Amino acid sequence: MAFFLKKNKNTLQEKTSEETQGIFIEEEKKSSKPLNQRIYLLLGILICLVAFSFVMRFFAGPIGEQGPSLDELMPASREKIRQMIQSSKNNKKVVDLEMANQLFTSGQYDEALALYRQVVANDPNNWQAYNSLGLVYLKKELFDNAEDYFKKALELNTECAPCSNNMGYLMTLKNKNDEAQIYLNKATLLNDKYADPYFNLGVLFEKKKEIQLAVDAYKKFIELAIEAKPEFKNQVEARIKELTGL
Question: According to the model, what pLDDT value does residue 84 have?
Answer: 44
* CATH class of the structural domain 177-246: mainly alpha
Could you count the other beta carbons within 10 Å of the beta carbon of residue 173?
Answer: 13
> Is the pTM higher than 0.85?
no
Question: According to the model, what pLDDT value does residue 95 have?
Answer: 64
Residue 150 identity: F
Q: What are phi and psi of 190, to 5 degrees?
A: -70, -30
Nearest CA to 125 among 100, 97, 98?
A: 97
Question: According to the model, what pLDDT value does residue 93 have?
Answer: 60
Q: How far is CA 104 from CA 109, 113, 136, in A?
A: 5, 8, 7
Nearest CA to 31 among 14, 44, 7, 6?
A: 14
Alpha-carbon distance 192 to 216, whole Å?
15
* 65: Cα separation from own chain's centroid: 21
Nearest CA to 201 among 223, 222, 224, 221?
A: 221
Question: According to the model, what pLDDT value does residue 179 have?
Answer: 98
Question: According to the model, what pLDDT value does residue 97 have?
Answer: 85
Domain 84-158 and domain 177-246 have a common topology: yes
Question: According to the model, what pLDDT value does residue 89 have?
Answer: 53
DSSP state of 64: S
CATH 1.25.40.10 fits 84-158, yes or no: yes
Alpha-carbon distance 130 to 148, whole Å?
9
Nearest CA to 100 among 125, 133, 145, 137?
A: 133
First to last CA, the chain: 129
Question: According to the model, what pLDDT value does residue 40 have?
Answer: 61
* 164: Cα separation from own chain's centroid: 26
Domain boundaries, the chain: 84-158, 177-246
Contact of 212 with 186, CB cutoff 8 Å: no
Per-residue pLDDT reduced to its tens digit, 131-187: 999 999 999 999 999 999 999 999 999 999 999 999 999 999 999 999 999 999 999
Contact of 167 with 147, CB cutoff 8 Å: yes
H-only helix segments in the chain: 2-25, 32-58, 75-105, 109-122, 127-139, 143-156, 161-173, 177-190, 196-207, 211-224, 230-244
Contact of 123 with 95, CB cutoff 8 Å: no
Residues (pLDDT < 50) of the chain are 1-32, 54-81, 83-85, 87-88
